[in-house]
Amino acid sequence: MASVELRNLTKRYGSNAVVDDVSLTVEHGKLVCLLGPSGCGKTTTLRLIAGFVEPSEGEIRVGDRVVSTPANSLPPEKRNMSMIFQSYALWPHMTVAENIVYGLKLRKMDRETIAKKREAILATTKLAPLAQRYPGELSGGQQQRVALARALIVEPETLLLDEPLSNLDANLREEMRFEVRRLHDAYRYTTVYVTHDQSEAMTTADLICVMNAGKIEQAGSPEEIYDRPRSEFVARFIGSSNVIKGKGLDQSHISLADARIRCAGAPITAGAETAVSVRPHEIRLSSTPPQQADNVVPATVIRQVFLGNSRDYMVEVKGGTQLRVVTAADVAIPPGGAVWLQLPPERCRALVG
């Protein structure tokens, strides 16, 4: 295993930079998710790492080896990487066991070593009872486990996964997120995982890189990305978030509906319009003015939906700004009702861009 380092990596098609000056280090044994919407450059970045695409600028290092530059690029088969695609690409005429050991046979390993590795990976991936079945006899989740086992058994320096769960139904996808993480913890291969699904990223990753328009907008742990978004794009993309626009009063306050709102996060410029994010479940809503006056804004209920264990509100403050608020189920205020919102200062994150 080895670290993977991208240095000022760029890939252009004509004048369009699909990957734009990306720098990233994936530490040895870590699982990093490239997360973002379609067209953000995440799959092209993965293909650059794999060697299927050559960079226009920058370089890729694996350990102490340079594997890609614009002038010289190692072919995929010489990079000691395994890649799992959206389609599982299993041989339909081979059994589960035969599919799994296919890469070892290509490497001309002896029968005893192949058998030992096969039995170990079948046990770890819980595929032993299915070893003699064919891919057409398996569920989607079982086929995905076979693809993972086949990639892991060759002991790659780097494991690359391109939207590996996108073809599964919702229940299987949830189950397989935990399976991917369990297998990563068992083998600790350096892993780069591409997905557009934030739940997959939050469940599996040590580090999440949120990509937008070919760039890494923000990189951090799942907790950092969720709790401390640095840009409006990240705040909106990761979970649902209210993005409030207000005029900066000083380095830590904005004006919203004539109220003075204290914020954390990026420094605020006085007089400039500033975007601030706050999650719906972090806003406190009450039908009476709270004793504490800091960060309190009066509002009117526009709609209210009962969701069993919670209620989902849309409220409007003076000036027309609408905010979504999630409360406990027993907080029942009808549309048109007057409410007061308390926005915890530490949860109001001033954003950059």
- pLDDT digit string (tens) for 3-23? 999 999 999 999 999 999 999
Record the pTM: 0.87
For residue 238, the number of C-alpha atoms closer than 13 Å in the C-beta half-sphere is 31
Question: pLDDT tens digits, residue range 202-254?
Answer: 999 999 999 999 999 999 999 999 999 999 999 999 988 999 999 999 999 99
Question: pLDDT tens digits, residue range 30-75?
Answer: 999 999 999 999 999 999 999 999 999 999 999 999 999 999 999 9
Residues 141 and 116 in one domain: yes
Residues 102 and 209 in one domain: yes
Residue 249 is predicted with a pLDDT of 94
β-bridge partners, 244: 276
For residue 32, the number of C-alpha atoms closer than 13 Å in the C-beta half-sphere is 25
Residues 244 and 211 in one domain: no
The mean per-residue pLDDT over the stretch 141-153 comes to 88
Residues 197 and 290 in one domain: no
Query: What would the two tokens of residue 244 be?
Result: 């409030």
Residues 134 and 264 in one domain: no
Residue 353 is predicted with a pLDDT of 63
Residue 145 is predicted with a pLDDT of 86
Which has the higher per-residue pLDDT, 169 or 209? Answer: 209
The mean per-residue pLDDT over the stretch 260-265 comes to 91
Residues 88 and 111 in one domain: yes
Domain that holds residue 31: 4-227
Question: pLDDT tens digits, residue range 115-127?
Answer: 999 999 898 888 9
Q: Which amino acid is present at 8?
A: N
Residue 290 is predicted with a pLDDT of 83
Domain CATH number, residue 317: 2.40.50.140
